[in-house]
């Protein structure tokens, strides 16, 4: 009997083993799903995750696929070329090869500021791009938002930017660098007219006029008095100089080094004078100057270098000191500070000229940049929580720069979900709003506002892409009633 019972037990045991082997994949899938579910729940608890529809949001891989289905072949090719040192001008490049072979070693190393705020760096950068001379890039922070590396300080004890190492020779004054580049690389799109020509004789007076315009602008920017008449007078001189050349550039129909010398501060005048003084430089009141602005906007080399009004108005005071506001500036300040960052506002209706006007291309550019670095962007956003808690790690003089503020890892998942929603809304009709617990809404809103207000142009993306991203961050905030 004991033997029969033992055999019966053995038979039952073998049947169970057989069944378990038969259904093992199902069990494993079930256990796996339970494990994943539990892990998600633990992560949600651990991270204070409050987005209950998180799993409904497509992944970054899905968003990338959607982007590729919408973009043109030329768009994708341009992006890939930029990642390899070719294509159009862009801030993230560490080497620019243009038409040189892949193994080419550039003869110029260009040191410029990490945030692309410095006007003196900008004109050298623009020259290199217009001439298409291969060069390497080293990025160094300005003092107002960081400390310069010891190696750079040994090379240039003054700490000033830009610096260029040209064929082994180190130079640190922007105009000297530009003249040296023209002299040493004459076969690369010469930007100075031949010596002894009529146009060459105009270069020195125009350079003097550029300094006069700069001085008038700088003095007014840092003054509490209304110096609009002085500014108007010097801009009329600039307009007359452009008229006498026949335009659209300072020496006529072709871009020259003179235009590159004028570009940084005429660009900053167009942004800062309305914002701080209620005075417009880019207006039909100066028709030839307006034509110059529009001609520059159309240049491919400039489109990846040009900043936007908002970035300039935030980065100027840390560099030049307080810029007192005049009452007439209030309506312009509101537009530049975000009134135009709405999906309901077309590019053509913005106060800041948005040329060219293809908003879909700009939206795809914004998504492409987010895809390239979405994990770092999500972590960057969460600095808002650390900042609110006083965990800054030391401040710098630029109010929108917090290089020492650590991220708050517990908020990364919820911010990442919001960024995916925003990316999708840039590519197609906005998704259904997420269900957000009120207890976490304030932190999420602070993180997204932190990002919106710190998108730097051209550091992070182009003028047009930045406006689209800021507008769609606002769309998220409004759709979820977070502001």
Provide the 3-class DSSP secondary structure of residue 165.
strand
- Per the document, the length of the chain is 483
- The reported pLDDT for the residue numbered 55 is 52
- The reported pLDDT for the residue numbered 403 is 85
With vertex at residue 347, the alpha carbon angle to CA 342 and CA 351, rounded to the nearest 5 degrees, is 85
The whole-angstrom separation of Cα 398 and Cα 376 is 21
Instruction: Give the residue ranges of the chain where pLDDT is below 50.
Output: 1-53
- The reported pLDDT for the residue numbered 396 is 82
CB atoms inside a 10 Å sphere around CB 151: 9
CA distances from 163 to 2, 117, 158, 315 (A): 94, 15, 11, 21
CB atoms inside a 10 Å sphere around CB 108: 21
Helix or strand (DSSP H, E) at 186: none
With vertex at residue 344, the alpha carbon angle to CA 343 and CA 345, rounded to the nearest 5 degrees, is 90
Provide the 3-class DSSP secondary structure of residue 455.
coil
pLDDT tens per residue across span 36-49: 334 433 333 344 33
- The reported pLDDT for the residue numbered 70 is 97
| 263 contacts 123 by C-beta, under 8 angstroms | yes
- The reported pLDDT for the residue numbered 66 is 97
The whole-angstrom separation of Cα 160 and Cα 264 is 17
Check residue 379 and report its DSSP letter. H
pLDDT tens per residue across span 210-228: 999 999 999 999 999 999 9
The whole-angstrom separation of Cα 430 and Cα 475 is 9
| 133 contacts 108 by C-beta, under 8 angstroms | yes
Token pair, residue 319, equals 């560099």
The whole-angstrom separation of Cα 217 and Cα 230 is 9
């Amino acid at each position: 009997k004991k033997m029969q019972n033992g055999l019966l037990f053995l038979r039952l045991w073998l049947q169970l083993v057989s069944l378990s082997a038969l259904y093992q994949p199902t069990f494993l899938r079930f256990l796996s799903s339970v494990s994943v579910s539990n892990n998600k729940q633990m992560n949600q608890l651990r991270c204070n995750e409050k987005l209950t529809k998180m799993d409904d949001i497509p992944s970054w891989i899905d968003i990338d696929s959607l982007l590729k289905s919408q973009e043109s072949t030329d768009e994708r090719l341009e992006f890939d070329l930029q990642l390899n040192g070719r294509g159009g001008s862009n801030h993230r490049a560490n080497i620019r090869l243009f038409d040189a072979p892949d193994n080419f070693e550039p003869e110029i190393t260009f040191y410029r500021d990490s945030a692309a705020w410095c006007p003196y760096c900008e004109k050298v950068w623009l020259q290199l791009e217009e001439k298409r001379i291969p060069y390497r890039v080293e990025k160094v922070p300005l003092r107002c938002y960081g400390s310069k590396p010891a190696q750079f300080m040994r090379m240039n004890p003054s700490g000033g930017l830009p610096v260029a190492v040209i064929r082994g020779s180190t130079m640190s004054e922007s105009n000297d660098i530009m003249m040296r580049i023209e002299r040493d690389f004459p076969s690369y799109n010469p930007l100075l007219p031949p010596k002894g020509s009529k146009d060459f004789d105009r270069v020195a007076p125009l350079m003097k006029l550029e300094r006069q315009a700069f001085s008038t602008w700088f003095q007014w920017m840092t003054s509490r008095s209304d110096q609009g008449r002085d500014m108007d007078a010097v801009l009329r001189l600039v307009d007359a100089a452009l008229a006498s050349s026949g335009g659209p550039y300072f020496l006529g129909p072709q871009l020259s080094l003179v235009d590159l010398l004028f570009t940084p501060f005429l660009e900053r005048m167009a942004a800062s004078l309305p914002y701080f003084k209620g005075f417009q430089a880019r207006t039909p009141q100066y028709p030839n100057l307006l034509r110059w602005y529009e001609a520059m906007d159309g240049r491919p080399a400039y489109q990846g270098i040009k900043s936007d009004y908002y970035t300039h108005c935030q980065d100027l005071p840390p560099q030049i000191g307080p810029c007192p506001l005049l009452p007439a500036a209030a309506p312009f300040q509101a537009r530049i500070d975000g009134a135009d960052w709405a999906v309901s506002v077309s590019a053509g209706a913005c106060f800041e000229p948005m040329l060219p006007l293809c908003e879909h291309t700009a939206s795809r550019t914004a998504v492409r940049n987010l895809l390239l670095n979405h994990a770092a962007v999500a972590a960057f956003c969460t600095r808002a929580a650390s900042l609110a808690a006083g965990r800054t790690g030391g401040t710098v003089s630029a109010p929108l720069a917090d290089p020492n503020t650590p991220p708050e890892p517990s908020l990364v998942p919820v911010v990442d979900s919001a960024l995916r929603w925003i990316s999708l809304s840039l590519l197609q009709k906005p998704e259904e709003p997420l269900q957000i617990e009120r207890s976490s809404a304030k932190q999420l809103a602070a993180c997204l506002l932190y990002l919106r207000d710190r998108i730097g142009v051209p550091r992070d993306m182009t003028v047009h892409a930045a406006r689209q991203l800021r507008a769609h961050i606002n769309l998220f905030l409004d759709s979820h009633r977070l502001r």
